[in-house]
Structure 1
Amino acid sequence: MERSYSLLLLFLALFSLKSFNLLCSAADPTDGFTPVPLTEANFVLQKPYNVPLNERCSYEDGVRSLWVYATDKPQDPSSNTQPRTEVRITGLDCSSGVWQFEGYGFVPNGTSGVTVAQIHGAFHGATTLILRIYDGNMRYYSGDLVATDLYDKWFRLNIIHDVDGGRLTVFIDGEERYSTHDQGPGDLYFKCGV
């Protein structure tokens, strides 16, 4: 069987969203946040509609592996979107306040043009943030450079969304790498995967 590994991403199952309860300038992006426990009930796995979940996702030793092929179908037969295997985090009202996503990712060499994390929902457009990998580099949508040289190594990703202030901040391995205005209010939720 010929397999195309052009789109593959691993995320450690230690996904955590955090709600902000103390305004501070911190060395660690999680300082001042209260953890929000995530369970299987907090997220929905989305995958190509014509394949079983176990053919695009696995969970072993605390690591959730997600993969998709360029030739895969979208998540719904009536959709005209690109194929995906991703986690949609549910059950949280992220429409106000300050929220944080934290995950650990691993992107194999050769994976390019894939979204690894996003904040879905916005006043202007469908998303307020998309982080994509192109040739080992992370970009905000397909433009601004966020981080370089991410192939074949684990990295820690933190995204802080100050909804009321309209601000997004991205950290890689605890270091602030990017900050920008969001796309306005909306039905906001975090997604990660590929």
Structure 2
Amino acid sequence: MTSFFLSSLVYLTIVWLMISYQAAKAWKPIDPTEGFISLPLNQSNLVIQRPYDVPEDQRYSFVDGVHKLWVFRTDKPHTPTSKTGPRTEIRIHGYDYSSGVWQFEGYGYVPCGTSGVCIMQVFGASPHATTLMLRVDNATLSYYRGPPVLVQNIYDKWFRLNVIHDVEARKVKVYINGVLKYEAPGRGGTSHFFKCGVYAQHDDSYYMESRWKGIKVLKKCD
């Protein structure tokens, strides 16, 4: 009886250790860019979309490698004919894609008080407009309006964001600081591109701001 009890205890201990190891491995930070090629990117690839009646330097700055983008709730949209909310966003130009595995990488920062805003998009879907939107609402970073919540308190700290879009597999993965936070299904569409900045959504704060540095576009090696 004692031998059976000890054997069972050893077995359960081994199982528990294996489960703990796998769980720890799953949450261990990785380099999401492994196996990807970083594509050439310069300022000409970064198109600034801002309220159409405001000069660029009143909603965007680039100082010491940091892109600062801000917008007000009362601002106009980015074109006179647009029915969307106010935004100041970097639209990645020159790397629209319709197939393959693509990745956005950037280091983001959201100051306290910014809320009701999208800070990153994978644009293009069908019948929707976007495949992915990352939103900040009252300090939380979420997939669209959530759930899920990806980060409980995103304010006032730099974070590394990696978003991988596998078009054929219809999957999108979101990594924060090297940790996989969410895997979402694709949403169709025939053409996609990346955006980051601030784009007003529901219950938006009067002033919205995000900062970005180290922006990269990467493609999976064939």
1:78: Cα distance to partner? 1.7
Aligned residue number for residue 150 of structure 1: 154
- Distance in 2, Cα, partners of 1:156 & 1:94: 23
Aligned residue number for residue 72 of structure 1: 75
Aligned residue number for residue 91 of structure 2: 88
- Distance in 1, Cα, partners of 2:36 & 2:112: 33
Compared with structure 1, are the counterparts of its residues 40 and 78 closer, same or farther at alpha carbon in structure 2 (3 Å cutoff)?
same
Q: From 113, 116, 129, give the equivalent of 2:116.
A: 113
Matched, 1:133 2:136: yes
The answer on whether the counterparts of 1:128 and 1:184 sit within 8 Å (CA) in structure 2 is: yes
- After superposition, what is the alpha-carbon deviation per residue over 1:5-46, rounded to whole angstroms, capped at 9, x for unaligned? xxxxxxxxxxxxxxxxxxxxx921111110012112212110
- Distance in 2, Cα, partners of 1:41 & 1:152: 29
User: What is the TM-score of this pair, normalised by structure 1?
Assistant: 0.84
Aligned residue number for residue 36 of structure 1: 39
The share of aligned pairs that are identical, in percent, is 53
Kindly provide the amino acid, as one letter, of the partner of residue 34 in structure 2: D
Where structure 2 has 5 or more consecutive residues not aligned to the other structure, the ranges are 1-28, 199-222
The answer on whether the counterparts of 1:163 and 1:185 sit within 8 Å (CA) in structure 2 is: no
- Distance in 1, Cα, partners of 2:77 & 2:30: 40
Matched, 1:180 2:174: no
Q: From 194, 197, 200, give the equivalent of 1:193.
A: 197
Matched, 1:163 2:167: yes
Matched, 1:58 2:73: no
Aligned residue number for residue 202 of structure 2: none
- After superposition, what is the alpha-carbon deviation per residue over 1:78-133, rounded to whole angstroms, capped at 9, x for unaligned? 21110000011111242111000001111011110111100111123111100000
Tell me which stretches of 4 or more aligned residues in structure 1 moved more than 4 Å.
Answer: none
Kindly report the root-mean-square deviation, in angstroms, between the aligned alpha carbons of the 2 structures. Answer: 1.2
Aligned residue number for residue 212 of structure 2: none
Describe the SS at the equivalent of 1:65: strand
Aligned residue number for residue 13 of structure 1: none
Higher helix content, 1 or 2: 2
- Distance in 2, Cα, partners of 1:159 & 1:70: 27
Aligned length: 169
Kindly provide the amino acid, as one letter, of the partner of residue 95 in structure 1: S
Where structure 1 has 5 or more consecutive residues not aligned to the other structure, the ranges are 1-25
- Distance in 1, Cα, partners of 2:90 & 2:190: 19
- Distance in 1, Cα, partners of 2:80 & 2:37: 39
- Distance in 1, Cα, partners of 2:88 & 2:96: 23
Kindly provide the amino acid, as one letter, of the partner of residue 100 in structure 1: Q
